[in-house]
């Protein structure tokens, strides 16, 4: 659905040309050290910054040829947290910008475990709670605006959605994202810092370093301990390897 | 503050929107009747409504009070509405057209006109009006030129800094003008600078009738975009917002409206800050309700304040800008102290 044709940025933050496809039904993880260009790549994929090199097309049409409103029916973004300015309730925040039916909002609030917080002000939430609100809002946008007969569930871009979640929440969120990719035929792109989450739940992984995509493919191919140790300048040890999957990694003490 | 009863504010309770707006409009209507009836020459509201007033009463009402009421409604709506829109644009409850330098830029241009080019008769009024208009527009162009060089999230920060620089510059320019002004001009400058509706004539009211409603309309049309902008620029863009267009609309509408208001009435402080802030505590932050409610609330507050300003010390008149600042300042400080941990 989303295709990158040697797309990149010349101006800083620089991004070397990337060629590739993002397909519905797949969960793609973008990993890499701090400052490697993960969020920059996400702004390219969302169309927030137009590519200075190459092109990014959605359903065969360049992103900047879409009107903002129609593009919003096809892809949503869950950015890294910005502090909200005013005290919206959780329920209003989830619904913001998509005029959804209240049943959809109620379902998403339940799925994201926000039922007890639904009428609370977003200014009084913890980081993890706010993160779940923003994921629910992104999903609400895609589901409420989905056209009848759309070929797939749309594109969901998430920038470090698990950074403030406890491990139970992380597991449930990643399982839900994978389920959404499979059942709703969504294309999901997720910037992740936790390599084990990427290895366990992603269908594909792109590894970024210094504004370049240095590896792309299945997790077990990309997430090699030796390569990751070099890229992250970390001492890693592999704790074992599930059948057909990527190694479980831990830091050496 | 309790948040119960505020659910579904964004779009699902149109009857609540209607109830709030009709209530505010009703209060404004009562305030207008009261204001039209009170003054040095008392007129009974019933006599006004049934048309049973004598010749002198009618002249006072038609030549003095009616244009003043019209100006009060439009200026109040414009100042409070643009305050609400600016606060949404900057995602900051303390933002205001004065913060961007629009009011002080317009004020400086008007002061330059008063000191250097002062004419007499209609030329004075229209020159002043044109000067305020051009002053705000000039600030708008400068501020946007600066902000245009920095994309993304830096833009809002740059806008605020540019506003600060312009406010400082306008303050210094105003001081310089006061230094070279004659005694008569100085008196005119300081009277105008305090903010007052007492120059209200039909010419001023008609100019406001012509230019303020389109600016208000442009702001009302931006309500949904301002809601989306609360998600942050990148997320709002992905949710379908054309952010540069929204910013253009809000800043152009605000600078035109505020420039005109400053030229006609001087700088009337605190309306743009106070009215949206209080209404947000009551109605929540959704702009589809907050913007029209702020406009009605601003009109209501300015009409009431102006009536008090011209009746409290009859037959003398207190500048209404002085009154709003005197009342608004302490109340605003109280609000900030009470809620400081949260915004």
- Kindly write down the DSSP assignment for every residue of B23-59, as one continuous string: HHHHHHHHHHHHHHH-SSS---HHHHHHT---HHHHH
Q: CB contact, 8 Å: B154 with chain A?
A: no
Option in B7, B237, B285 nearest A91 (CB)? B7
Residue B126 tokens, joined: 């229209």
Minimum distance, in Å, between the CA of residue A74 and any CA atom of chain B: 9
Note the pLDDT of residue B339: 60
Higher pLDDT, B289 or B152: B289
Residue B117's pLDDT band (cuts 50, 70, 90): confident
Locate A98 and state its tokens: 């998509």
Closest by alpha carbon to A65, among A78, A47, A53?
Answer: A47
- Is B264's pLDDT higher than 50? yes
Whether residues A87 and B91 touch (CB distance < 8 A) is answered with: no
Q: Which residues of A touch B241 (CB under 8 A)?
A: 68, 97
For A86, the closest of B4, B8, B230 (CB atoms) is B230
CB-CB under 8 Å, A92 with B231 = no
Query: Is it the case that residue B38 has pLDDT exceeding 50?
Result: yes
Say how many Å lie between the first and final Cα of chain A, rounded: 43
Sheet of A61-62, strand order: A15-22, A2-9, A53-58, A61-62
Is the pLDDT at B9 greater than 90, yes or no? no
| Cβ–Cβ < 8 Å for A230, A209 | no
Single out the residue of B194, B197, B209 nearest to residue B305, CA to CA. Answer: B197
Closest-CA residue in chain B for A120? B3
The verdict on a CB contact (< 8 Å) between B239 and A97 is yes
Q: What is the pLDDT of residue B188?
A: 76
Q: How big is chain B, counted in residues?
A: 343
Angle at B245 between CA A70 and CA B20, to 5 degrees: 85
Q: pLDDT for B44-74, tens place per residue?
A: 766 766 777 777 777 877 888 888 899 999 9
- Chain A residues whose CB is inside 8 A of the B223 CB are none
B91 interaction partners in chain A (CB closer than 8 Å): 84-86
State the sign of the Cα–Cα–Cα–Cα dihedral B175, B177, B179, B183. Answer: negative
Which residues between 88 and 127 in chain B have a beta carbon less than 8 angstroms from any beta carbon of chain A?
A: 90-93
B6 near A CB under 8 A: yes
Please judge whether B237 and A47 are an interchain contact, meaning their C-beta atoms are less than 8 angstroms apart. yes
Q: How far apart are CA A122 and CA A11, in angstroms?
A: 36
Side-chain half-sphere CA neighbours of A205 within 13 A: 27
Distance from CA of A125 to the nearest CA of B (A): 12
Please answer yes or no on whether B11 and A119 come within 8 Å at the CB atom.
no
Residue B280 burial (10 A CB sphere; 0-12, 13-18, 19+)? buried
Residues written for chain A: 253
Task: Give A16-54 pLDDT, tens digit per residue.
Answer: 999 999 999 999 999 999 999 999 999 999 999 999 999
Position with higher pLDDT, B118 vs A114: A114
Residue B120: its pLDDT value, please? 62
ipTM for the predicted complex comes to 0.90
pTM of the predicted model as reported, rounded to 2 decimal places: 0.85
Tens digit of each residue's pLDDT (9 = 90 or more) over B83-106: 999 888 878 777 777 777 888 888
**Closest chain B residue to the Cα of A47, Cα to Cα:** B238
Nearest to A91 among B8, B233, B240 (CB): B8
Residue to mutate among B16, B231, B241, with most A CBs inside 10 A, is: B231
């Amino acid at each position: 659905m989303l295709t990158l044709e040697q797309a990149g940025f010349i101006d800083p933050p620089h991004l070397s040309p990337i060629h590739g496809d993002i397909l519905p039904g797949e969960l793609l993880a973008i990993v890499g050290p701090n400052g490697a260009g993960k969020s920059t790549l996400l702004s390219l994929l969302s169309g927030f910054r137009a590519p200075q090199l190459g092109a990014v097309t959605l359903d065969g049409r360049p992103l900047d040829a879409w009107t903002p409103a129609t593009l919003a029916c096809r892809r949503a973004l869950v950015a890294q947290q910005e502090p909200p300015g005013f005290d919206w309730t959780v329920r209003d925040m989830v619904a913001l910008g998509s005029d959804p039916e209240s049943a959809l909002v109620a379902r998403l609030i339940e799925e994201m475990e926000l039922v007890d917080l639904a009428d609370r002000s977003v200014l009084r939430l913890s980081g993890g709670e706010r993160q779940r609100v923003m994921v629910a809002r992104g999903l609400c946008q895609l589901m409420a605006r989905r056209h009848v007969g759309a070929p797939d569930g749309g594109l969901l871009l998430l920038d470090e959605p698990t950074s403030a979640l406890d491990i139970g929440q992380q597991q449930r969120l990643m399982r839900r994202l994978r389920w959404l990719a499979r059942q709703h035929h969504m294309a999901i792109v997720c910037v992740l810092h936790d390599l084990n989450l990427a290895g366990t739940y992603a269908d594909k992984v792109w590894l970024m370093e210094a504004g370049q995509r240095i590896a792309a493919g299945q997790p077990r191919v990309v997430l090699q301990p030796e390569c990751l140790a070099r890229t992250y300048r970390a001492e890693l040890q592999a704790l074992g390897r599930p059948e057909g999957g990527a190694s479980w990694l831990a830091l050496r003490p | 503050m309790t948040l119960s009863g505020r659910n579904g504010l964004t779009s699902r309770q149109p009857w609540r929107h209607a109830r709030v707006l009709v209530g505010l409009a009703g209060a404004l209507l009562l305030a207008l009747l009261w204001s039209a009836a009170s003054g040095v020459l008392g007129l009974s509201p019933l006599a006004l409504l049934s048309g049973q007033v004598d010749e002198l009463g009618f002249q006072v009402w038609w030549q003095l009070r009616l244009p003043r009421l019209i100006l009060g409604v439009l200026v109040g709506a414009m100042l409070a509405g643009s305050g609400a829109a600016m606060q949404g644009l900057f995602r900051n409850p303390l933002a205001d057209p004065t913060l961007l330098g629009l009011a002080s830029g317009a004020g400086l241009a008007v002061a330059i006109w008063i000191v250097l080019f002062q004419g007499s008769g209609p030329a004075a009024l229209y020159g002043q009006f044109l000067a305020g208009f051009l002053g705000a527009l000039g600030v708008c162009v400068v501020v946007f030129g600066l902000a245009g060089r920095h994309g993304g999230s830096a833009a809002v920060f740059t806008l605020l800094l540019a506003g600060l620089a312009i406010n400082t510059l306008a303050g210094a320019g105003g001081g310089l003008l006061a230094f070279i002004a004659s005694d008569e001009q100085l008196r005119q400058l300081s009277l105008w600078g305090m903010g007052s509706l007492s120059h209200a004539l039909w010419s001023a009211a008609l100019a406001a009738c012509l230019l303020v409603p389109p600016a208000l309309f442009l702001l009302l049309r931006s309500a949904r975009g301002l809601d989306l902008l609360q998600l942050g620029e990148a997320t709002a863009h992905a949710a379908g917002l054309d952010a540069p267009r929204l910013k253009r609309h809000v800043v152009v509408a605000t600078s035109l409206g505020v420039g005109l208001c400053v030229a006609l009435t001087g700088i009337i402080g605190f309306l743009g800050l106070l009215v949206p802030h209080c209404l947000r505590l009551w109605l929540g932050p959704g702009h589809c309700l907050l913007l029209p409610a702020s406009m009605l609330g601003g009109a209501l507050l300015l009409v009431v304040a102006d009536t008090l300003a011209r009746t409290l010390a009859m037959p003398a008149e207190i500048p209404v800008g002085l009154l709003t600042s005197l009342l608004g300042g302490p109340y605003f400080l109280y609000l900030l102290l009470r809620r400081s941990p949260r915004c």
